[in-house]
Each structure stands twice: as structure tokens, then as C-alpha cells.
């Protein structure tokens, strides 16, 4: 069975490294196929890698995570998004739901 491709998007390298090291991707049928540190890089990686799942922060440079999701939905509507954010604002959650995300997880994340 082919593994699900995952893209990690966060402007903090330690967060991305933590996700790569602390979660058993292979054990859950996934592989980390790429990373991005800002919204523009995320959009480019999504077009290039066509990940099945994008795990991202909302507060990233250049283009925020919600706008990345909105733009991705146009070209790749099948992509699943999981937001991992320190923001528990209802307006962020409402917008994320409108964009049909898969999950919204608050930092700090306990794996």
C-alpha cells in the first residue's frame, strides 16, 4: 500500500523537526515528503509534491495558513489540512471550518 504524503509547514524549524522525530509516520502509513517555512513556500511545495495531508500553523510569514488553504482548495481540493496553532480564537476556528479542514489542534501538542 502506498504511504500518504505529508507536508509540514511551520516557520519554526524546531517545530517541524519535532513533528518529524516524535511521531511514528511509517507506523501510521505516512511519510513526510516535504517542509515549508512560509506560505509562499507552502504553496510551491503543495503544487510540486501534491501531498495528501498538510500539517500547518496559521501564523506563518508572507501568506498565513488560512489563505494557503483557501488558495490550495482551488487547485487541489482533495488535500487534507490539519492546523496546529497556538491560536484558539473562535474566528480562526470558524474560518478553518469554512475551508473544510480535517482537524484543528492547539499547541503545545502532546504526542
Q: What is the pLDDT of residues 12-59, one digit of tens each?
A: 999 999 999 988 999 999 999 999 999 999 999 999 999 999 999 999
pTM of the model: 0.91
Which fold would CATH assign to domain 4-106? Rossmann fold (3.40.50)
Cell 470558524 found at: 94
Amino acid at each position: 500500500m502506498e504511504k500518504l504524503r505529508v507536508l509540514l509547514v511551520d516557520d519554526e524549524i524546531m517545530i517541524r523537526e519535532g513533528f518529524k522525530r516524535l511521531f511514528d509516520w511509517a507506523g501510521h502509513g505516512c511519510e513526510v515528503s516535504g517542509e515549508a517555512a512560509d506560505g509562499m513556500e507552502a504553496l510551491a511545495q503543495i503544487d510540486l509534491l501534491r501531498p495528501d495531508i498538510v500539517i500547518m500553523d496559521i501564523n506563518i510569514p508572507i501568506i498565513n495558513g488560512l489563505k494557503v488553504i483557501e488558495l490550495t482548495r482551488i487547485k487541489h481540493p482533495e488535500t487534507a489540512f490539519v492546523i496546529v496553532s497556538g491560536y484558539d480564537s473562535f474566528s480562526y476556528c470558524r474560518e478553518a471550518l469554512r475551508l473544510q479542514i480535517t482537524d484543528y489542534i492547539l499547541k503545545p501538542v502532546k504526542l
